[in-house]
A and B are shown apart, each in its own frame.
Chain A
Amino acid sequence: MSRYEADIEQALTHIRVEGLSKTYRGAQGVVRALDGIDLSIRRGEIFGIIGRSGAGKSSLIRTLNRLEQPSAGQVRIDGVDLGGLDENQLVELRRRVGMIFQHFNLLSAKTVWDNVALPLKVAGKRPAEIERRVAELLQLVDLADKRDVYPAQLSGGQKQRVGIARALVHEPQILLCDEATSALDPESTQAILALLRDINRRLGLTIVLITHEMEVIHEICQRVVVLERGRVVEEGPVWQVFGDPQHEVTRSLLGTRQHDLPEDLVGRIRPQPESERSLFLLDLHFTGASLREPDLLAIGRTLGAQARLLHGGIDRVQGRALGHLLVGVHSREPQAAILERARGLADKVGGLGYVTAA
C-alpha cells in the first residue's frame, strides 16, 4: 500500500481494532472470548458482526465503548486509544457512542420522556435544552404521543424505539446494536431496520450491529465480519461474503439462504450418464463479483433448447444479483465441452453430475 493509500484508509477509518483479545476467568476456568481480532470500521457505514452463539460477538462490541476491558490489544476511535482514557474521558466517550440492547434495558420506574432525558440530565444539560432535544428525538422515532407513558405499557418495537432515542440523544457518531431486533416480531424488525437505515443516512452515523438474523445483514449492512471462537474467519462487503462464502462457518450461518440441492436430486446424481435421457446438472453461481445478472436468453442459446431450470434463486444484495441456478442440460457432448461453453454465463460454473429423469 502506498503512503497515499494508507492516508486515505486512515481517513476513512472510524473504529480501528488491533490485536484485540479478551480472556474471562470464570468458575469453569479460563475462556478466551476474543483472540487477536483486527478490524477497521469505516465512518458512516453499517457494519455487521455475525457468528455462532458464544463466538465472541457481544464481547467484541462491548469493548468498543469499554463496557468490557480488553485483556490485550487496542481499540481506537478517531485514532484515540480507549485504553488510555481516565474515568472522565470514558464518560465523555460513551456520550459519543450510543448503544441499544436486545432487551431494551429501559428504566421501568421512569416515563418514556425521563428515559430519553436521563443521559442529558446526568451530563448536566440545561432543562430548556433537554426539553428541546428529547422532543426532537421522540419526534424522530415517532413516539411523541407516548412521552408520559411507562415502558411496561409499550410494545417491543416501541420500547426499542425509545432505546434508539435514548442512544441518540447526545448526538453520538457511533451506534452499537447488540441483537437489537432479536426480541421483535418481523414487522417491528422491519420498522426498526428502516429507522436505523434512515438515521445512518441522515445523520451519517456509523452503526455496528450484531445479529443472528441474516436477513438483517442482507438488508442494511454494507460490510460484515464473521467470528468463530474469538477470531475473524471471514470479512468483506456483504455481497461478497453472502454471494460466495469461503468459510464453513459462514456457509452454515447462511444455510437457510443458500439454495442447497433438493433432496430428490441428491440421491440420483451419478458421475456418468446412465442413458440417453440423462441430464447434465450445471451449477451457475452468481457471486456478485462481476455485477452480471442471469441472462436467460444467453442461457437458452448456449445450452440448447432443452435446458431445464431445475432449482435455484437469485437475491439482490447491494445492487448485485447473488445466488445459484441449477440447470439441467440435455446433451451428449462431454462434460468439459459443456462447461467450456457455459463459462461466460455466470461468475462460477460447475458440473454436479448426471441425473436420469424418473
Chain B
Amino acid sequence: MSLLLDRLLQGTLDTLLMIGASSAITLLLGIPLALFLVTSTRGGIFEARWANGAIGSVVNVLRSIPFLILMVALIPFTRLIVGTSYGVWAAVVPLTVACIPFFARIAEVSLREVDRGLIEAAQAMGCRRRHIVWHVLLPEARPGIVAGFTITLVSMINASAVAGAIGAGGLGDLAYRYGYQRFDTQVMVTVIVLLVLLVTLIQFGGDRLAHALNKRK
C-alpha cells in the first residue's frame, strides 16, 4: 500500500513538473508569437504580411496534428534537445510544441479585440510602437490572455496523460500501467480524482485571476 502511495505521490509530482515546465515555456514563447500574429497583419503596427502568412501557416499545421501523432513524429527532435525520448523532460518538448500554437491563437484573439481607438489614442499621445505593445495591447488583453492560458493548461494536463501513457511518467503513466494493464480500479479511480482536482483547481484559480484583472466592469 505504501509503495502505491509513493508511486501516486511521485506520479503527481511528475505531472506537476511536466505541466509547470511546459506551461512556463508556452507562456514565454506563446505571447510573443501572439503579438507577432496580431501586429504584423495588414494595417498592424509592425505590418509584415508575408512573414505573418508564413508563420500563421506553421501555427495552423501544428494545431491540426493530433497530439499523439505529433509526439511520435517529434521523437528525433526531442532526442536532439533533451538527449532522450523517455521521461518527464522528454514529454516537455512535444507538450510545448503542441501548446504554444494553441495558446498563441487564443491570445491572438484577445489581443485583436483591443479597440483600435485605444491604439490611435496612444499614437496621438506620442507613444512609440513598443509602448503600444507594452502599455496598451498587453494590459488591455490581459484578462482574455489569462482565461486563454487557463484553457491551455487544462488541455495540457489532458495531453500530459497521453504522454504519460507512452513513457513520460506522471499520473497518466500510472493510470495506464495499473488501470489498463492490471485492471486495478482503485489506482485508476485515485488518478482520476487527482486529475479532476488538479483541473478544477486550475480552472478556479484562472477564473478568479481573470476576473480580478478585468477592470472593464
Contacts and interface: CB of A to CB of B under 8 A. Distances in A.
Interface of A: 65, 67, 87, 91-92, 94-95, 97-99, 101, 103, 105-110, 118-119, 121-123, 150-152, 166-167, 170, 176
Contacts of A87: 128
B217 A123 contact: no
B126 A67 contact: no
A118 B134 CA distance: 11
28 contacts: A91-B127, A94-B124, A95-B125, A95-B126, A98-B125, A99-B121, A101-B117, A101-B121, A103-B117, A105-B115, A105-B118, A105-B121, A106-B121, A107-B118, A107-B135, A107-B140, A108-B140, A109-B140, A109-B213, A110-B135, A110-B139, A118-B127, A119-B127, A121-B135, A122-B125, A122-B131, A123-B126, A152-B215
A282 B169 CA distance: 99
Instruction: Give the most central of B125, B139, B216: most A CB within 10 Å.
Output: B125
Given A109-B139, A109-B142, A122 B127 contact: yes
Nearest to B143: A109
A98 B125 CA distance: 7
Interface in B41-76: none
Contacts of B217: 152
Nearest to B121: A105
A58 to B, nearest CB: 11
A92 B126 CA distance: 7
Interface residues of B, number: 22
B139 A119 contact: no
Given A105-B115, A105-B118, A105-B120, A167 B140 contact: no
B200 interface: no
Nearest to B118: A105
Contacts of A91: 126-128
Given A105-B121, A108-B215, A152-B215, A122 B142 contact: no
Contact of B124 (A99, A106, A150, A151): A99
A289 to B, nearest CB: 39
B39 to A, nearest CB: 16
Contacts of B126: 91-92, 94-95, 119, 122-123, 170
Contacts of B135: 107, 110, 118, 121-122
B182 to A, nearest CB: 52
A95 B128 CA distance: 12
A107 B117 contact: no
Instruction: Give the most central of A65, A119, A122: most B CB within 10 Å.
Output: A122
Nearest to A105: B121
A152 B125 contact: no
Could you tell me the dominant secondary structure of chain A's interface residues? mixed
A119 B126 CA distance: 7
Nearest to B116: A105
A63 B23 CA distance: 45
Interface in B129-152: 131, 135-136, 139-140, 142
Contact of B123 (A67, A151, A167): A67
A117 to B, nearest CB: 10
A150 B215 contact: yes
Contact of A109 (B121, B122, B215): B215
Instruction: Give the most central of A87, A101, A109, A166: most B CB within 10 Å.
Output: A109
A57 to B, nearest CB: 16
Contacts of A107: 118, 135-136, 139-140
Given A67-B120, A109-B215, A152-B216, A167 B139 contact: no
Contacts of A151: 215
A105 B117 contact: yes
Q: Which 7 A-B pairs have the closest CB atoms?
A: A105-B121, A109-B139, A119-B125, A99-B124, A150-B215, A95-B126, A94-B126
A91 B215 CA distance: 29
Nearest to A94: B126
A87 B127 CA distance: 11
A89 B124 CA distance: 13
A106 B140 CA distance: 11
Contacts of A106: 121
A205 to B, nearest CB: 16
A122 B134 CA distance: 10
Interface in B9-45: none
A109 B216 CA distance: 7
Contacts of A98: 124-125
B64 to A, nearest CB: 30
